[in-house]
Amino acid sequence: MTPIRKIFIANRGEIAVRIIKTARLMRIETVIGVSEADRDSLGARLADKVICLGPAPSAQSYLNVDLILHAARATGCDAIHPGYGFLSENRTLAQGCLDHDMIFIGPTPDNLDAVGDKLTARTHAIAARVPVVPGDTIDTAEDAQAIADRIGFPLLIKAVAGGGGKGMRRVDHPHELTQSITLAMAEATASFGDGRVYVERLVEQGRHIEVQIISDGDTILHAHERECSLQRRYQKVVEEAPAPNLDPLLRDQIHAAALQFARHIGYVSLGTVEFLVDVKRGEFYFLEMNARVQVEHPVTEEITGLDLIQLQIDIAQGINLRQSQSDIAVTGHAIECRINAEDSENNFMPSPGRITTAWFPPMAGLRIDTHVQSNCMIVPYYDSMIAKMIVHRPTRDAAITTLAQQLATCRLDGITTNIPLHQRIMTWDAFQAARFDTNSLQRFLDSAETRT
């Protein structure tokens, strides 16, 4: 065991605040590295020490590995917590911590290698005998045609190093194949510096189900699953736990597959194994593993009573898990809405600016994870998420009711947010009945735009 005395937080926004709060409870000092744009952020005011990393652009601050390693060492930190996004799954940072006798609060460099791109992760899934979507890697249009002959159309072309929907193309007909591959490779190269793509069967009616993994290297547990199917352009909008209307046998099989994958790669720390459930076929397939804490981790905390950040820190300092699988039970239902500074009624245009009033009225079962307060600035340089509204109630219906009440009464004045979108979702019959897939929200939005 190597006790952590001081953590360097290499992140910003609500996750930085979240880490600071748990570190305080654990009596661990915190140092936060901020860009010039975040000097007056809530995270900077809550941390024990603040150090400015550099200008606002991420490449010159939050994405500069050498700068962060130097700042952590210079401030006497013995560990770095990368949060999510930015450098959270960066092998160079994880290895740099090892090289400088610091603790990376996350998985090992080898773990990051194993899941660092979708192709490598897929290869590990196959080796672990975890189901994957039928398909294969390609180099040419002829390769793609051979796969299409085997599995049929429609197909999905995906960038190996992709994320957020970039480098992805749907192909419905053979004559679209060559051009779609060319465009996907070009977009992948431009976005990720890696033009490799692969082709797989397009699951037209799929649910995005992910399993929370907790591992100390010897004991590997799951903290049940989350439903993340409500997405817009491959970005999650609403998440909940447990997944509603999921066949109990299929649920157990998904949990077992997640543990099997994590065990195969010798995973250590928090992680999330993501699956696509083919609703029509009643099958599920491995998608990827996120080797970090997820944005939506609060819904898991609410239904299990766990502090996942504390567990992540404990594992990093060599404390073995005290729980067994039977200790991690589900109580009630939790739903999370991502509140973004964007105009959901105007093509989701970003809406930076000053929040003149930030007020969330207290309600039973309500949790707000945020870095915003009245009179704070929302800067235009980073992700638009400004708060997470999480409700935990005895039933799903009760959670929806509480969320609808909170959305109608909270105040975030001075900027435009996507709260109107969430209000519509709460009254949407498909959401209330939990009958949706990964394309449902986009269809709902498109139909609403058509009506207007």
Active site residues: 292
What DSSP letter does each residue of 78-120 carry, written as one string? SEEE--SSTTTT-HHHHHHHHHTT-EESS--HHHHHHHSSHHH
Give the integer Cα–Cα distance in Å for 29 and 8.
9
Instruction: Say whether 220 sits in a helix, a strand or coil.
Output: strand
In angstroms, the CA 170 to CA 152 distance is 13
How far is the C-alpha of 219 from the C-alpha of 344, rounded, in Å?
A: 43
CA distance 128 to 155: 25
Total Cβ atoms within 10 A of residue 163: 15
Instruction: Tell me the backbone φ, ψ of residue 354, rounded to 5 degrees.
Output: -100, 130
**Omega into 242 within 30° of 0, i.e. cis?**
yes
Tell me if residue 398 falls in helix, strand or coil. helix
DSSP annotation of 319:
P
DSSP summary character for residue 346: T
* Coil vs helix vs strand at 281: coil
CA distance 440 to 431: 9
For residues 382 and 341, give the distance between their C-alpha atoms in angstroms, rounded to a whole number: 11
From start to end of 160-205, where are the E strands? 169-171, 197-201
| 3-class DSSP assignment, residue 276 | strand
